[in-house]
Structure 1
Amino acid sequence: MPFVKTYWIFFCIAIHVTSSQTVEDKVTYNGSQVWQVELQGAEDMAYIQKLHDNKDISIWTLTPTRADFLVPDRLKLKVHRRLVAKHLNHTVLILDVQRRIDLNTQQVVPALWTENALRDGHRLSWKKFPTLDIIEEYYNFLAEDYSSLCRVQTIGYTAENRTIKMINITDGNPKNKIILITGGSHAREWVSVTSALYILNNIVTKFDTQSSYIKNKNWLIIPVLNPDGYVYTHTVDRLWRKNRRNFKRCKGVDINRNFDSDWGIVGIKESDECKITYSGPYAFSERETKALRHLVGSSVRKPVAMLDLHSYGNLILFPWSARTQPTEDYNKHVEVAELMRSAIFKSSKENYTYGATYHKIYPATGTFLDWAYSKGVVHSYVIEIKDKGKLGFLIPPKEIEDTGKELFAAARSLAKYVNHHKRQIESKDARKTWF
C-alpha cells in the first residue's frame, strides 16, 4: 500500500477517535466479584431475582439449577448474609471483575498497521477483540476483494446514527436457501461478534474449498446488531447489555426483548427502563428490531434457518421462550440441535446441552428466536456460547479462534441438514400462547 494511502488511513482514524470520544466517566468494577450459586427450584430462582431487582446483584445467567451474578464490592457482605439466611452457598468465579476486564482489554486498543495488516488490507485478527472501527475496516476489505461473492449492505441506522451492516454471501443462484446469522445483540457479549466474524471469514475467504452445502446457500450475516452498545462497552462500560436509546431516566432497550412475539406477557415482560432486560415502550420500538423485521418479515423468500449467537452457557436453544408447550417442529429442533451439539464436540470437545428456552433457562418475552420462528423460519436457534460461568462474558482473547471454530462447525451442520429438508410453514395455532 502506498505511503500516502497509509498516512491517510492514520489521519482518518485519528480524526474519528477524537470526534467520537465520550464525555462519560469510564465505569469500573474494582473489587466486584462474580459468584455462582446452585439452586434447588423456583423459590431459589425467585430469591435471586429479588436480589437483582433490589440492585444488590446483577444477574449474568439464571437457570433452574444455577445462578451466576456480579456482586459490587460494597455489597459483598450484605449479599453473603442474605444467601446464608436462605441456606444458599456460593462459589467465587471471578475474584476481581475489573482486573479480569483489564487483562482482556489490554489488547483491544486498535492495533497499528503492521506489514501483514497492510498486505491483508485490514487489521482484524483472532488474537484480540476488535473495535467497531476494525470490524468496519474488514467489511470494506470484503467489499473490495470479494465483490463477486459478497455485498456489504446497510439494513438500518441506530439511535446514535451508526449503520447496522449485513454481509450478503451468495454464488448468484437465486434459488439458494437462505441462512441468517446474527451476533452482538447484547453489547457485552463480544465473543458472539467474533464468532459471527469467524464464520463469515471462513465462508468467504475459503469459498472454493467449502462443501457444496455451504456454497449453495445465501448467507446473511450480521456480526454486530447493536453497534451503539458495542462501542459503549469498549469506551465506557464493558458490561453494558442494551442499545443506547435515550429515555427520561435511563438509556437502552434490550433488543432481544423487543420483538412482537409474546411481547406483553405480564410478569415476564420488563417495563422498567432502568433494568437491563427492559423490553421497550412497545414491540418493535427500536431501530435494530425494525431492521430485522424488514429483513425477515417483508422478504418474499424467508430464511430457512437462523442462528442468533449469544453468550454464555454452552447451550443450544429453540422456541418457545415464553410458552410452556412445545412447537409443532419440536422433533426437528431436537434433531438439529443434536447435530450441532455433536459437531461442536467433535471440533473442540466442548459439551453443549439443548432444549426449549422456556424450560432450559427462563421465560423471556419478545425474543428474536420466537419471532423468527413465528414468521416461518422453522429452524430458528440461539447458541449461548461457552463458557459455563468460569469467566462468563469476560472470555479471554486466546479463546476467540477455538470458539469461532466450534460455532462454524455448528453452522456447517445446520447448513447440511437444511440442504436435504424442505422448509415447512407454521401451523395456524403456532402463535397461541399458553396463558
Structure 2
Amino acid sequence: MPFINTYWFFFIAISVTSQQVERVTYDGAQVWQTSLRGAEDLLLIKRLVDNQDISIWNLRPTRADFLVRAQHKVKVYRQMTARNLSHTVLIMDVQRRIDTQPVTPALWTENTLRIGHRLSWKKYPTLNIIEEYYNFLAEDYSSICRVQSIGTTAENRTIKMINITNGNPNNEIILITGGQHAREWASVTSALYILHNIITKFDKQKSYVKNKNWLIIPVVNPDGYVYSHTVDRLWRKNRRKFMYCVGVDVNRNFDVDWGIAGITENNECKTTYSGPYPFSEAESIALRNLIESLVPKPIAIVDFHSYGKLLLFPWSARAQATQDLHLHRQTADFMTSSMFKSTKQNYSLGATYHVVYPATGTFLDWAYSKGVAHSYVIESRDKGELGFLLPPEEIEDTGKELYAAVRALAKRIKGSDEDSPNKSDNETWF
C-alpha cells in the first residue's frame, strides 16, 4: 500500500507540473478594432470584457482594440451588430503571428563569444540573456555603471537596476522603467537599447547626458516576463498566486487614486487586477522604496509601455489638469519632435485620462504625486496593426525613437539654449 500511495503521489505531482508548463495557445483568435461613438458603445465593450468574451489590447475614448477567441467570435459579432458596431480585423490569426516570433534564446557563436554577450536588436531576449548582458556591462564598464538589486519577486527573481553615473554627486537623476506589463516586450528592448547606447558611447555623449545619473530598470516584472516567454505570450500581470487566479497588474498597485469605484479592478482574475491593497506587490514596493531612498529625488521618470505611439503625462484617474500642465506639454512636445526627427514616426501626446482611459494606482501618477514633476509614459509602436506582437525587425528603430525622447528630456531639463529639436548638435545619436 505505501508503494501505491507513493506511486500516485508522483503521478499527481508530474501531472500538475505538466499542466503548469503547458503553453497557452491562441489558435483562431483574432484582434478586432472598432470605433466607439459614446458611453453606450463603451458599456458594451465593458460587458464583453466582464463576461470574458474579449480581452482588451488598447482602449481609447473613440476606439477599442481587443482579442476575441475563436469560440466567442459569433457571440461578440452578434452583440456588436445589434448596436450597429462594425469592426476591422487587425490580426487574422493571433497564434500564427506569435509563431513568427520564436522565443528560443540566441546561441553562443564565435561573434557573441568575442563581444561577451548574446544581446542583439534582431531578436527579443530572454531574461537569462538580459542578465548576461548586465554582467557584461558590470565587468567591462565598471567605472561608470553598477548593477543593483532593488527587490525580490514572488518567484524569487531579482529586480535589477543599472546605475550609470560619472560619479558627480550633484548630478540630477533620470529613472527609466520597462517591462511592468509582461507582454510588452518592446518596452524592455527599448530600455536596453538606451542603456547600451549611453554606456558604450559614454565618452562621446553631450554634457546633458553625461551629467545625469541614469537609473534604468528594463524588466520591472521579471516573473511575468519569463512567463510570457515560456507559457503565455500575452500575459500581462506579475505571478503572485491568489485563491482563484494569479497575478496583479503592477501598474495599478501604487497608492494614488487607488480604490475608485468603477475604475479600480477588484477581481483577481482580471488582467487589470489592482491587488488586495496598494503596494501589495514586490514590484511596486521596489519602485516605491527606490524613489523614497533617493536624495535628491529623480528629476524625471519615464515609464515605457506598448502600444499606441503616445507620450502621456498625469493625471490618469483625474479629469482635471495638473499644476504643471504647461511644463508637461512643452516638454512632451520637445520629446515627440525629437522622436520624429530620429525615425519619422509621429507620437501623440496628452494627459492619460483624456488620451487613453481612466486608470488608478499608476506609477506615473504616484511618482508625480511624490514631487517628480517630469513624469511621463511612452507607449511605443505600433498603432494596433500588430499590437503587442511587434516584429523583431522594429526593435532597433523603436529603441532609437525612445532614445531620442529621453535625450531630449535630459537636454530640456538642462535648459540648454539649443532647446529647439530642429537645431543640430553636430552629434550622431545612434
Where does 1:202-281 land on structure 2 (aligned, <5 Å)? Answer: 202-281=197-276
Distance apart, 1:21 and its partner CA: 9.5
Cα gap change, 1:418 to 1:22, in 2 (>3 Å):
farther
Q: Which residue of 1 aligns with 2:52?
A: 55
Equivalent-residue separation in structure 1 for 2:209 and 2:41 (angstroms): 45
Equivalent-residue separation in structure 2 for 1:404 and 1:177 (angstroms): 23
Matched, 1:164 2:155: no
Q: Which residue of 2 aligns with 1:415?
A: 410
Distance apart, 1:293 and its partner CA: 0.6
Equivalent-residue separation in structure 2 for 1:200 and 1:180 (angstroms): 11
Q: CA RMSD in A?
A: 1.2
Equivalent-residue separation in structure 2 for 1:263 and 1:332 (angstroms): 26
Distance apart, 1:267 and its partner CA: 1.1
Where does 1:1-400 land on structure 2 (aligned, <5 Å)? Answer: 23-104=20-101, 106=102, 108-400=103-395
Equivalent-residue separation in structure 2 for 1:102 and 1:233 (angstroms): 13
Distance apart, 1:22 and its partner CA: 8.3
**TM-score, with structure 2 as normaliser:** 0.92
Q: Is the 8 A contact 1:154 1:165 kept in 2?
A: yes
**TM-score, with structure 1 as normaliser:** 0.91
Q: Is the 8 A contact 1:42 1:64 kept in 2?
A: no
Secondary structure of 2:67 counterpart: strand
Secondary structure of 2:21 counterpart: coil
Identify the range of structure 1 (172-181 vs 42-51) with the bigger mean alpha-carbon deviation: 42-51
Identify the range of structure 1 (94-103 vs 298-307) with the bigger mean alpha-carbon deviation: 298-307
Distance apart, 1:271 and its partner CA: 0.3
Q: Is the 8 A contact 1:142 1:150 kept in 2?
A: yes
Per-residue CA distance 1:237-257 (angstroms, 9 max, x = gap): 000000000000000000000
Equivalent-residue separation in structure 1 for 2:20 and 2:275 (angstroms): 26
Matched letter for residue 81 of structure 2: V
Identity value in percent: 71
Q: Is the 8 A contact 1:308 1:381 kept in 2?
A: yes
Distance apart, 1:325 and its partner CA: 0.6
Equivalent-residue separation in structure 2 for 1:184 and 1:334 (angstroms): 25
Secondary structure of 1:393 counterpart: coil
Structure 2: runs of 5 or more not aligned: 1-16, 417-430
Q: Is the 8 A contact 1:229 1:244 kept in 2?
A: yes
Matched letter for residue 295 of structure 1: L
Equivalent-residue separation in structure 2 for 1:147 and 1:41 (angstroms): 55
Secondary structure of 1:391 counterpart: coil
Distance apart, 1:43 and its partner CA: 2.2
Q: Is the 8 A contact 1:22 1:235 kept in 2?
A: no
Secondary structure of 1:335 counterpart: helix
Distance apart, 1:120 and its partner CA: 0.9
Equivalent-residue separation in structure 2 for 1:297 and 1:277 (angstroms): 26
Distance apart, 1:116 and its partner CA: 1.1
Q: Is the 8 A contact 1:242 1:254 kept in 2?
A: yes
Distance apart, 1:264 and its partner CA: 1.4
Q: Which residue of 2 aligns with 1:404?
A: 399
Q: Is the 8 A contact 1:30 1:97 kept in 2?
A: yes
Equivalent-residue separation in structure 2 for 1:63 and 1:339 (angstroms): 24
Q: Between Structure 1 and Structure 2, how many residues are aligned?
A: 400
Equivalent-residue separation in structure 2 for 1:386 and 1:336 (angstroms): 20
Equivalent-residue separation in structure 1 for 2:156 and 2:280 (angstroms): 16
Secondary structure of 1:26 counterpart: coil
Q: Is the 8 A contact 1:180 1:220 kept in 2?
A: yes
Matched letter for residue 195 of structure 1: S
Per-residue CA distance 1:54-86 (angstroms, 9 max, x = gap): 111000011111100000011111111111111
Distance apart, 1:41 and its partner CA: 2.0
Q: Is the 8 A contact 1:249 1:274 kept in 2?
A: yes
Per-residue CA distance 1:305-337 (angstroms, 9 max, x = gap): 010000000111100001111000000000011
Equivalent-residue separation in structure 1 for 2:19 and 2:414 (angstroms): 47
Q: Is the 8 A contact 1:45 1:62 kept in 2?
A: no
Secondary structure of 1:413 counterpart: helix
Distance apart, 1:23 and its partner CA: 3.6
Secondary structure of 2:43 counterpart: helix
Distance apart, 1:420 and its partner CA: 2.2
Equivalent-residue separation in structure 1 for 2:237 and 2:352 (angstroms): 20
Cα gap change, 1:22 to 1:372, in 2 (>3 Å):
farther
Equivalent-residue separation in structure 2 for 1:91 and 1:48 (angstroms): 15
Equivalent-residue separation in structure 2 for 1:271 and 1:190 (angstroms): 26
Distance apart, 1:380 and its partner CA: 0.2
Structure 1: runs of 5 or more not aligned: 1-19, 422-435
